[in-house]
Amino acid sequence: MSELESRINEANVELIEDSNSCSLTYLILKRMIDIMVSIVGVVITAPIMLLTAIAIKLESHGPVIFSQTRLGKNGQEFTIYKFRSMVKNAEKHTGAVWAQENDSRVTNVGNFIRKTRIDELPQFFNILKGDMTLVGPRPERPCLTEEFHDEYCGFKSRLLVKPGVTGLAQVKGGYELTPGQKLRFDKLYIKQRSLLLDLEIMIRTAVVMIIGHGAR
């Protein structure tokens, strides 16, 4: 084994140990906060979600809700829910493609709800189901996870924790970051996660929703 491979393995082992060392108190409180915030969030944003659904229907044909298979904690597959922000069958001719800034497949309504993170509101239901958490690495599709893992060593280490609606990578740059850069922020979050860091990320996410910068 080369010195580089040895360092990578040591780093991954350290990350696994850090992810397992989170206190039970933190995990219980995090889940309680997830449930309370999601219930309140659904109630408060119900009018926004209704208006968003109407706007999507008026602009383009297709379903209001976009569902897709993503990988959760420990690689478990689940169905994620979002408001549809792209044209219907956006990947019919291209296959799985990672969304980019100024993506031509995004509708006018879609552009607005992506910048303000409104498209993520249906994921309150993913949180209530236990598939996701408020703060954590963003969940990725199985095929893209394999692709990125081949290109960026340790990409699957993101699966050590439950995926989030928002995360450190999203408030640090969003579309401006490469998968490799996002991976570094995700690893940093896994290593340093705490209720205080979660609160900071949620506050910064609220700022992103207001100014529309850094959304992904």
* Rounded alpha-carbon distances, angstroms, from residue 21 to 25, 97, 133, 197: 11, 35, 18, 16
The DSSP secondary structure of 10-78, one letter per residue, reads HHHHHHHHHHH-S-HHHHHHHHHHHHHHHHHHHHHHHHHHHHHHHHHHHHSSS-SEEEEEEE-GGG-EE
**DSSP 8-state code for residue 166:** E
Q: What count of other Cβ atoms lies within 10 Å of the Cβ of residue 40?
A: 11
Asked if 204 contacts 212 with a C-beta cutoff of 8 angstroms, the reply is: no
The 10s digit of each residue's pLDDT in 163-192 is 999 999 988 876 678 888 999 999 999 999
In whole angstroms, give the CA distance from residue 37 to residue 108. 29
pLDDT tens digit at each of 216 positions of the chain = 444 344 434 445 455 555 555 788 999 999 999 999 999 999 999 999 999 999 999 998 889 999 999 999 999 999 999 999 988 766 655 555 555 556 678 899 998 998 888 999 999 999 999 999 999 999 999 998 998 988 888 899 999 999 999 999 988 876 678 888 999 999 999 999 999 999 999 999 888 777 765 544
